[in-house]
Structure 1
Amino acid sequence: MACSAAPNFTRLRIPIPNISSPQLFSVRCCCISSSSNNNNEKKKEAKKKLSSQSSWEAEDAEGKDYLYRLGQEADNMNIAVGQRRGFIDQLFVGNFLGQDSDIVFDYRHKVTRSFQYLQGDYYIAPLFLDKVVCHIVKNYIAHLLNVKVPLILGIWGGKGQGKSFQTELIFQAMGLEPVIMSAGELESERAGEPGKLIRERYRTASRVVQNQGKMSCLMINDIDAGLGRFGNTQMTVNNQIVVGTLMNLSDNPTRVSVGQDWREEDITNRVPIIVTGNDFSTIYAPLIRDGRMDKFYWQPNREDIVNIVDRMYQKDGISRDEVVKIVDTFPNQALDFYGALRSRTYDRSILEWVDEIGGVENLGNKLIKRRKDESLPVFIPPEQTVEALLESGYSLLKEQKLVMETKLSKEYMKNIED
């Protein structure tokens, strides 16, 4: 008995007593096999037609289901997915986008810093410049060097010595576009979020190198404020994960996971990490060991301070000799003290300007609710003089002494017995 192309099992009249007949049994098997093959061919054709119209069954580079893999990734919020020819509908990929274009890079680009606000001529200490530039260059050519290159540069020292500002000036001079984080981002109400954020920011800096052709790095300001142990402060899970993440980045700077399965072809460009802080002795010791972190203690000497303050006051017409007089009048002060002098001299001029626009009572209406065609009086900056700067300096010095000498907490608690 021959099998038809589309068998119909209702036509087979096989008597029950003869079911053991080899001839009848073989016919039934032949018909079933033919039917199964035809059904499989139809399914393949239907699947083929579906794939030619849609990307729901597209495969990734490993041959796995693309959308299923996306669903497995962290919170299904992976914004690193761009339009790639061969994996995403051709409708969304044109010649104007290129063969491998990232449609969401403009979103991530916002986390980088361009330093457009740094206008003017600033002084960069040569020792500081040499250390930062050397660390960045060594990491970009680490594959050419036959030495172990630490991924992290830890810049630490006293408060207000210009660690972050000097670093940003160097970035601007090098044309480097960094990703900058603060210590406030190292803690979260959700366990694991800060560690994941560091890995994402590191990968973002890597994509700046790959997609824009610019140098980049990851910078974390005041890291000891987020990871340091002060007295009886509590160690949280996020603190441990952040430390572990930074240690792992130092050991594996080109393999960075953000929560999804590891993919062999997912190689990240190595980018240097720079952290600033005041006291690195409060940080977990294995993180700051020499193999992972290159440490640089920044304490500007008198010449550095004079040069930096001279550039700061140059546009105000203050001569270098007058700057030396100011620095010698207030020795052992941080660099931000001399910037505060200039800011304090503006106080009297600002109060006079407030009176010109209508006084304190009308301040909100003038600053916030004024009409579009209504302009404010022009603010005229005060003329800077050595006398005014010295007067501001003595005022700041008095406030510093009051903070150190007047301990109101003891005054409040003096009548309470232990």
Structure 2
Amino acid sequence: MALSFPFPSKPRFPLHFHSLPPTNKSPPPSFSLHCSKSSFSENSDDGEKDGQTEVPRRLSKQSSWEAKDSEGKDYLYRLGKEADNMNIAVGARAGVIDDLFAGNFLGRDSDIVFDYRQKVTRSFQYLQGDYYIAPLFMDKVVTHIVKNYMADLLNTKVPLILGIWGGKGQGKSFQTELIFQAMGIEPVILSAGELESERAGEPGKLIRERYRTASQVVQNQGKMSCLMINDIDAGIGRFGNTQMTVNNQIVVGTLMNLSDNPTKVSIGQDWRDSDVTNRIPIIFTGNDFSTLYAPLIRDGRMEKFYWQPNREDIVNIVHQMYKKDGISRDDVIRIVDKFPNQALDFYGALRSRTYDQSISKWIDEIGGVEKLGDKLLTRKKNEKLPTFTPPKQTIEALLESGYSLLKEQQLVMDTKLSKAYMKNIGD
């Protein structure tokens, strides 16, 4: 792929040409440089001589490499210093840089990954179908988001963070994403795994950058946005003798600062009076917020919501999950009553377990386990795999899968192999 680079109007270092000593070798081939007339024509105002005065050449009247801002400072330098863009990302945009350098070989934008680099928000095209949202859950999330967008109009203190916590596998993240989809929100979502780095300060800066990105969604796209951090306690919670790192402290301090100053967010740039960030609501999900730093979860900064779906919520959510399989509501109630005190993800795993026998049969149809790699990865272009037929869901098959999962759960609790492995340690 050919790349073109813009050059400044004047060389940054003197050019010297020296004649080479004669050799017995054949002379190197000669090269000639051709310039397009459209770029350096005699009638253009790029440069001209008037007696002894030579006007400096300009690349173009609209060259972004020589543009100045309102304060007379270099445009691209300030752009790279103060925004989360890169000079090459802006400089390669059609209409910003000369067509001579942008070219048409990749369309109007020569930086083909620009859109992908800037796209850190989440869309929900994968959420196809009709899902059930618990009314209490929806009311809490929607109220928190609307309160933050109306904070300037309300004569009260509005916490920036909503912490949704509760037991494992209760659908906290999934229900929240369903609400985002229903409201048309384009959120920025972080995971607890991104809250640690080998470089001190990186996770804290990442949070501030993502917060500003959500603000840009509001400002530039006219869409509602928010910042969501999943499993926050797994990232910055304190468990037993786990080590508290510098990044843990910086992340906590960053989140506390965002709660106290939601419209002034620094990523290292020089401050300007006009650099005001839109207030963006933040949502946490987690299992145990008592492991978090106490000043972070105080009521002025975080509003806490304990999510424990009741029986009616579980029946409605599971029924919506099994509705396309032809399972009636009465059958769902029977399943829920057979396996009480289970998290919502148990009923999803129960349905997934019923596919195991059909998948084993499909493997035999394509030639067995020895042929899996060839058939799945390196098969010929026109070769088609046998059609996979999903199993027909019945109440008997679902109950059988449920009992199997229940036995595995109990086996883990009863065996506790870790104690057997460690019983002789310290003797």
TM class, shorter-length: 0.7 to 0.9
**Residue type matched to 1:280 in 2?**
F
Which residue of structure 2 lines up, in the alignment, with residue 366 of structure 1? 375
Residues in 2 aligned to 1:107 and 1:56: alpha-carbon distance in whole angstroms: 24
Q: Does 1:64 align with 2:86?
A: no
> Would you say the 8 A contact 1:108–1:204 is kept in 2?
no
Show the 5 A alignment for 1:375-414. Answer: 375-414=384-423
> Would you say the 8 A contact 1:112–1:178 is kept in 2?
yes
1:107, distance to aligned residue in structure 2 (A) = 3.1
**Residue type matched to 2:201 in 1?**
G
Which residue of structure 2 lines up, in the alignment, with residue 239 of structure 1? 248
Which residue of structure 2 lines up, in the alignment, with residue 118 of structure 1? 127
**Residue type matched to 1:159 in 2?**
K
Structure 2 unmatched runs, 5+: 1-52, 101-110
**Residue type matched to 1:384 in 2?**
Q
Show the 5 A alignment for 1:7-406. Answer: 54-69=63-78, 77=86, 106-406=115-415
Larger Rg computed on CA atoms: 1
Question: Greater CA deviation, 370-379 or 204-213?
Answer: 204-213
Structure with greater proportional helix content: 1
> Would you say the 8 A contact 2:186–2:225 is kept in 1?
yes
> Would you say the 8 A contact 2:91–2:97 is kept in 1?
no
1:91, distance to aligned residue in structure 2 (A) = 6.4
Residues in 1 aligned to 2:273 and 2:161: alpha-carbon distance in whole angstroms: 25
Structure 1 unmatched runs, 5+: 1-43, 93-101
- The alpha-carbon distance between structure 1 residues 175 and 79, as it changes in their structure 2 partners (threshold 3 A), is farther
**Residue type matched to 2:423 in 1?**
K
> Would you say the 8 A contact 2:151–2:158 is kept in 1?
yes
1:59, distance to aligned residue in structure 2 (A) = 3.2
> Would you say the 8 A contact 1:152–1:250 is kept in 2?
yes
**Residue type matched to 1:245 in 2?**
T
Question: Greater CA deviation, 358-367 or 257-266?
Answer: 257-266
Residues in 2 aligned to 1:266 and 1:141: alpha-carbon distance in whole angstroms: 20
- The alpha-carbon distance between structure 1 residues 247 and 46, as it changes in their structure 2 partners (threshold 3 A), is farther
1:66, distance to aligned residue in structure 2 (A) = 3.5
**Residue type matched to 2:425 in 1?**
I
> Would you say the 8 A contact 2:76–2:87 is kept in 1?
no
- The alpha-carbon distance between structure 1 residues 71 and 112, as it changes in their structure 2 partners (threshold 3 A), is closer
Equivalent residue pairs, number: 369
Aligned CA-pair RMSD: 3.0
**Residue type matched to 2:424 in 1?**
N
> Would you say the 8 A contact 1:187–1:226 is kept in 2?
yes
1:212, distance to aligned residue in structure 2 (A) = 1.4
- The alpha-carbon distance between structure 1 residues 108 and 128, as it changes in their structure 2 partners (threshold 3 A), is farther
Question: Greater CA deviation, 145-154 or 48-57?
Answer: 48-57
| Residues 395-417 of structure 1: CA deviation (Å, up to 9, x unaligned) | 11111111111111221222333
- The alpha-carbon distance between structure 1 residues 292 and 49, as it changes in their structure 2 partners (threshold 3 A), is same
**Residue type matched to 1:395 in 2?**
S
- The alpha-carbon distance between structure 1 residues 264 and 315, as it changes in their structure 2 partners (threshold 3 A), is same
Report the TM-score, using the length of structure 1 for normalisation.
0.81
**Residue type matched to 1:258 in 2?**
I
Residues in 1 aligned to 2:83 and 2:323: alpha-carbon distance in whole angstroms: 52
